[in-house]
Amino acid sequence: MKDKNFDKIRESAEEILESFAEISEGLPSQEETYYEQDTLSVLRSDGKPSSKKDLEEFRKNFLKNMPDRDEEGNLKVEVAEWAK
Amino acid sequence: MGEMNTLQKVEAIKSGELSTTENIEDKLETIEERDGEINAFIETNEDVLERAKEIDRKIERGEEVGKLAGLGIGIKSNINTKGLQATCASKTLEGYVSAYDAVVVERIREEDGIILGMNNMDEFACGSSGETSAFGPTKNPSAEDRIPGGSSSGGAAAVASGMCDLALGSDTGGSIRNPASHCGVVGLKPTYGLVPRQGLVDLSMSFDQIGPLSTDVSGAALLTEAIAGLNENESAMFDLESVNYLGEVEVALDGLKIGVSSKFRELTDPEIMDPIDEAVDYLRDQGAELVEVDLPNLEKAMPTFYLILSVEFFSATRKFDGRKYGRKIEEVCGEEVLRRIVRGKYISRKEFKGKYYQRALQIRTLIKKELTEALKKADVLVGPTVPKLPHELGEDISPGEMYAYDYLTVPANLGGLCAGVLPFGKVDGIPVGLQVQGPSLGEASVLNVMKALEKR
């Protein structure tokens, strides 16, 4: 992070904005498009409960991704700086 | 067996002429031989031969098998695949093992496809060259010393080199089509909302779409059929249960209206236009009608796209804060990812909202309208995929030069169109991909034209 040139990156962000401002000049106002396809108010169905095997597998994979754990397999968390 | 297309291979597997185990062993051998140099896979799946034998046993017992039976498939590393790492080719997610399958991966498994592993890619799909992966660049097996294109670099290179039958990529502004063009394979970006995105790590949620890479058109049609259709948990999908392209992919060009635009030529290096012109002439000779379409603001798509993408990417990456997993993205990511985050943060400032972001969403509407109008006059638009040849691997190019690769692919993402790429000739020994763009849900027409050109 320290060796990355933030000023240069910020400059390139400004360049993109400037080039966008240039190309958009004079174009007519339009409605805004957020999504090409939008189905609102989707209600999720309950689905089938996971099998015991799937749950075990999920736990195994989930534990692999824990930041850290103790000898008994419990999740170890870092205390936030503001709580110290 | 080398002469078979993907569909014929599945038929050979189903009939017992070729066993799944033989096919998968062949893929594993190719990976062993070639991936050390090409670097198309970040991780390979260990249980593939066991799974291959299961499918062979099913076939021997006369049980029905799925439409992808016995095919070896690579998955882009930003698509969650249970038990394998979804790193997005970034140090931020290094070692992250997916605890669940993305909906598309579930569907591949249900259709008896075999997941060979996780393909390399540009970090967080931020790149058009295949060089920004934290796990090293991917080489182009079809053009020595040139970039493979990106961001689905590993998938395209793996298909081109015979390491897998098919690959799943994601396309936000051309990330399937660009590497397909440079590596000389077939790629398809389906219409936004046709294929479920649940389980895909977002780059830009209003553009991202998962799609296939294949050696031939039948493979792209087959994999799209397998993964497309409504997922009830998503709010931006078409209400379609399934699609059928294989039945509809018949070569019938007579009377088909092929749209061409002078803007394609204006934005493209002349040498690339030679094979494209040849393809257009061939289509006309086969009975298609050529229609000139007007796309007055096509070149404005690229800056508009990058502005919207930066805002959405900044938002999408806020969860990579190093608290739940790994390290904070800004601390370990590469320069292009950082550039997009910083830019997105800058543009997201309140005072810029109306001036830039909302304005970009308006120009998105304008470009969509122009493309929709063009596709009322023509059934499909035919033109180049990438406006210039791929640069040499490791060559230092500016961000602007890198973004210029996307001039002709981002309009389809802005307009919600579908678009396919087919290898069509070479320039200086480097493959050139022809792009066929169709209207929303126009995949059958796009595949039809691609199939006709493939047969030539």
B281 touches chain A (CB under 8 A): no
Interface touch A44/B239, C-beta < 8 Å? no
**Rounded Cα distance, B232 and B241, in Å:** 10
B49 in Cβ contact with B24 (< 8 Å)? yes
> Is ipTM over 0.90?
no
Residue B98: domain span: 6-227
Residue B30 domain flag:
yes
Do the chains contact at B300 and A23, CB–CB below 8 Å? yes
Provide the strand spans (E) within B10-86: 41-44, 72-76
Is B139 assigned a catalytic role?
Answer: no
Asked if residue B232 belongs to a domain, the reply is: no
pLDDT tens readout for residues A17-58:
888 888 999 998 999 998 887 766 667 777 788 899 988 888
Neighbours of A21 (CB within 10 A): 14
Q: How far apart, in whole angstroms, are the C-alpha atoms of residue B420 and residue B177?
A: 7
Residues of B in contact with A37 (CB under 8 A): 191-193, 236-238, 416, 440
Q: Which two tokens stand for residue B425?
A: 């000739």
**Same domain assignment for residues B100 and B218:** yes
pLDDT value, residue A42: 67
Q: State whether B192 and B269 are in the same domain.
A: no
Taking only the tens of pLDDT, chain B with its 456 residues reads 557 999 999 999 999 999 999 999 999 999 999 999 999 999 999 999 999 999 999 999 999 999 999 999 999 999 999 999 999 999 999 999 999 999 999 999 999 999 999 999 999 999 999 999 999 999 999 998 999 999 999 999 999 999 999 999 999 999 999 999 999 999 999 999 999 999 999 999 999 999 999 999 999 999 999 999 999 888 889 989 999 998 765 667 888 999 999 999 999 999 999 999 999 999 999 999 999 999 999 999 999 999 999 999 999 999 998 877 888 999 999 999 999 998 899 888 877 777 888 999 999 999 999 999 999 999 999 999 999 999 999 999 998 899 999 999 999 999 999 999 999 999 999 999 999 999 999 999 999 999 999 988
pLDDT category of residue A1 using cuts at 50, 70 and 90: very low
d(CA B25, CA B369): 49
Q: Which residue of A9, A18, A54, A79 to mutate against B (max B Cβ within 10 Å)?
A: A9
Calculate the CA A25 to chain-centre distance: 33
Q: Does residue B276 come out as left (phi exceeding 0), alpha (psi in the -120 to 50 range) or beta?
A: alpha
* pLDDT band at A2; cut points 50, 70, 90: very low
Instruction: Count residue pairs from A and B with Cβ separation < 8 A.
Output: 130
Largest CA distance in chain B: 67
Q: Does B401 touch chain A (CB under 8 A)?
A: no
Strand order of the β-sheet with B209-214 is B41-44, B114-119, B72-76, B166-171, B209-214, B186-189, B418-427, B430-438, B380-384, B257-260, B289-292
Q: For residue range B359-383, list pLDDT tens digits in order.
A: 999 999 999 999 999 999 999 999 9
Of B235, B360, B369, the CB nearest to A20: B360
B189 is catalytic: no
Q: Are residues B132 and B264 in the same domain?
A: no
Domain-located, residue B152: yes
pTM score: 0.94
* B358 inside 8 A of chain A by CB: yes
| Residues B283 and B138 reside in one and the same domain | no
Cα–Cα dist B37/B312, whole Å: 35
Residue-level pLDDT at A4: 53
Residues of A in contact with B416 (CB under 8 A): 36-37
Query: Do B127 and B19 belong together in one domain?
Result: yes
Confirm or reject contact between A9 and chain B (CB < 8 A).
yes
**Do residues B282 and B385 both lie within one domain?**
yes
Within an 8 Å CB–CB cutoff, is residue B335 touching chain A?
yes
pLDDT band at A84 (very low <50, low <70, confident <90, very high): low
Tell me, yes or no, whether B174 and B87 share the same domain.
Answer: yes
Closest Cβ opposite residue A10 in set B100, B342, B362: B342
Question: In this structure, what token pair is assigned to residue B83?
Answer: 């038990």
Q: Catalytic annotation on B151? A: yes
Say yes or no for a CB contact (<8 Å) between B307 and A16. yes
Co-location of B394 and B317 in the same domain: yes
Give the pLDDT score at A43. 72
Q: What is the pLDDT of residue B361?
A: 95
Structure token pair of residue B382: 């035919």
Distance to chain B for A5, nearest Cα, Å: 9
Q: Name the residue among B385, B400, B404 with its Cα closest to residue B446.
A: B385
Give the model's pLDDT for residue B352.
74
Does the beta-carbon distance from B325 to A67 stay under 8 Å? yes
Is the CB of residue B351 less than 8 Å away from at least one CB of chain A? no
Last residue of a domain, one of B227, B249, B270: B227
Helix (H) or strand (E) holding B186: strand B186-189
CB contact, 8 Å: A13 with chain B?
A: yes
Nearest chain A residue to B322 by CA: give it.
A67
The residue from B9, B14, B27, B76 that is catalytic is: B76
State whether B321 and B428 are in the same domain: yes
Query: Residue B134 belongs to a domain with what CATH number?
Result: 3.90.1300.10
- Point out which residues pair with B419 in neighbouring strands: B189, B437
Is residue B366 less than 8 Å (CB to CB) from chain A? Answer: yes
B242-249 long-range contacts (CB < 8 A, ≥24 apart) are: B243/B194, B243/B443, B245/B221, B245/B443, B245/B444, B245/B447, B246/B7, B246/B218, B246/B221, B246/B222, B248/B444, B248/B447, B248/B448, B249/B217, B249/B218, B249/B221, B249/B444, B249/B447, B249/B448, B249/B451
Q: Total structural domains in chain B?
A: 2
Same domain for B221 and B270?
A: no
Please write the tens of the pLDDT for every residue from B261-305.
999 999 999 999 999 999 999 999 999 999 999 999 999 999 999
Domain match, B222 and B307 both: no
Which among B209, B227, B245 is the end of a domain? Answer: B227
For residue B250, tell me if it sits in a domain: no
Does B234 contact A32 at a Cβ distance shorter than 8 Å? Answer: no
- B223 and B267 housed in the same domain: no
